[in-house]
Structure 1
Amino acid sequence: MADPNAEVSRNRVERSALEAVRAFSDAMDRMHTGLRSDMDMNATDLSALRMLSIREQRGELVKPHDLARHLGISSASTTKMLDRLAKEGFIERAPHPNDRRALIITLTESSRRDFGRHFAARLLRMREAMGPFSTEELGAVTRFLDGMSEAMLAD
């Protein structure tokens, strides 16, 4: 027979975890709003640059179609956005190394510096916040957040 106290305790912990996810999401939204203001760009442009930065750190190449799919925008809108970001010096288009018909999109060196400047202090504070946690606990947090991301994006 299931322990009713354990079920109540589990429900309480799950509710607390979801509230923490919501608070973290709100903090991320506020940070991105400030970043958009600092960099004088709209939400879609910033999302594109963030995606490029993350994929670059993973060593992944990004094609215009990848950006369109990630942002949920049309090919025409993607082309306009890329034209604007290239004109403003945030991105560069380059030939794909393995597919001569395709292009890849990369951040410019100045974009990398801008992101570094805007995120350096925040990244340091986030790393400091991880200090009290063991490697195993951080692994559990990573698995949890990965699971939450998958759950939110599932159709």
Structure 2
Amino acid sequence: MSDRWLPQNEHEHAVMRVLLSIRAMGDAMDRMHSGMKDDMDMNATDVAALRLLIIREQRGVLVSPRDIAQHLRISTASTTKLLDRLEASGHLERRAHPSDRRGRVVVLTDDARRAFFRNFGERLRAMREMALRYDDDELVVIARFLDDLARAMDPVD
């Protein structure tokens, strides 16, 4: 158990300010995801699965049902129910893996992709406009910091 950390010098006060900003960002992300969940009439796990598929798709990475289970930290039985529900609602498809005959991949439908960006597009535009205020060097530092922070918070993913 750790005691509450109290900054002792100017640098530690700056670190505290960053940590408070991260908390505020986390709260804003929670509210955004809650709004998306309501807008798309889905539960939080469904939206999280769609977000994973969008992110991995943008990176050109295939997603298996196991990847979804690991990312969401849910059982394979729960993953099957989630995928059945999202497939029945027209949000995703399960297909044969392109290079592993035994494997399956999960992909978004075009309708799901459009719905996701319709609901997320305005928020994405606002974030992009804010980021455009920073110069290239600042953006490199911000991206490195956020990547390092993500790894520190969740070294598995």
Question: Residue in 2 aligned with 1:129?
Answer: 130
TM-score, with structure 2 as normaliser: 0.92
Runs of 4 or more, structure 1, over 6 Å off, are none
Counterpart check, 1:25 vs 2:26: yes
Q: Structure 1: state its 5+ residue gaps.
A: 1-6
1:104 match: secondary structure: strand
Question: Residue in 2 aligned with 1:77?
Answer: 78
Identity of aligned residues (%): 50
In structure 2, C-alpha distance between the alignment counterparts of 1:84 and 1:121, rounded to whole Å: 27
Which has the bigger relative contact order, CA under 8 A and spacing at least 6? 2
Question: Residue in 1 aligned with 2:139?
Answer: 138
Q: How many residue pairs get matched?
A: 149
In structure 2, C-alpha distance between the alignment counterparts of 1:126 and 1:101, rounded to whole Å: 40
Question: Residue in 2 aligned with 1:57?
Answer: 58
In structure 2, C-alpha distance between the alignment counterparts of 1:92 and 1:84, rounded to whole Å: 11
Question: Residue in 1 aligned with 2:150?
Answer: 149
TM-score, with structure 1 as normaliser: 0.93
One-letter code aligned to 2:130:
A
In structure 2, C-alpha distance between the alignment counterparts of 1:110 and 1:66, rounded to whole Å: 22
In structure 1, C-alpha distance between the alignment counterparts of 2:155 and 2:101, rounded to whole Å: 33
In structure 2, C-alpha distance between the alignment counterparts of 1:47 and 1:132, rounded to whole Å: 29
Question: Residue in 1 aligned with 2:4?
Answer: none
In structure 1, C-alpha distance between the alignment counterparts of 2:54 and 2:135, rounded to whole Å: 27
Compute the RMSD of aligned alpha carbons.
Answer: 1.1
Question: Residue in 1 aligned with 2:114?
Answer: 113
State the 1:154 CA deviation.
Answer: 3.7
In structure 2, C-alpha distance between the alignment counterparts of 1:107 and 1:63, rounded to whole Å: 12
Q: Structure 2: state its 5+ residue gaps.
A: 1-7
State the 1:117 CA deviation.
Answer: 0.6
State the 1:101 CA deviation.
Answer: 0.4
Question: Residue in 2 aligned with 1:47?
Answer: 48
1:37-65 CA distances to partner (integer Å, 9 max, x unpaired)? 01111111110000000000000000000
Structure number having the greater helix percentage: 1
